[in-house]
């Protein structure tokens, strides 16, 4: 994991704690003009909001019969 990736994970980790209405403002601050990273983090946040049980159930339980 290089610096960019470290930042991406750090911004994501903080952003999920921020109330939804404050998220844009937080991202403006945290991404500081790095539009590419901002877009990526926004994608990740959207996925996070829909995460449900994704990967929580191990595959073998359901699939080995």
Name the token pair of 59: 């595959």
Q: Around 58, how many Cα atoms within 13 Å sit in the side-chain half-sphere?
A: 3
Q: Give me the least distance between CB of 34 and other proteins, in Å please.
A: 16
Q: Does 36 engage in binding with other proteins (CB under 8 A)?
A: no
Q: What is the CA radius of gyration of the chain?
A: 15
Site for other proteins contains 65 (CB under 8 A): yes
Asked if 45 touches other proteins (CB under 8 A), the answer is yes
* DSSP code per residue over 38-53: HHHHHHHHHHHHT-TT
If one asks whether residue 33 binds other proteins (CB under 8 A), the answer comes out as: no
Residues that bind other proteins (CB under 8 A): 1, 5, 9, 12-13, 16, 43-48, 50-51, 54-55, 58-65
């Amino acid at each position: 994991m290089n610096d960019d990736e470290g930042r991406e994970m750090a911004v994501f980790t903080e952003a999920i704690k921020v109330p939804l209405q404050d998220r844009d403002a937080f991202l403006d601050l945290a991404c500081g003009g790095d539009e590419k990273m901002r877009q990526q983090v926004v994608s990740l946040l959207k996925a996070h909001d829909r995460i449900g049980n994704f990967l929580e159930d191990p595959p073998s339980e359901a699939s080995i019969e």
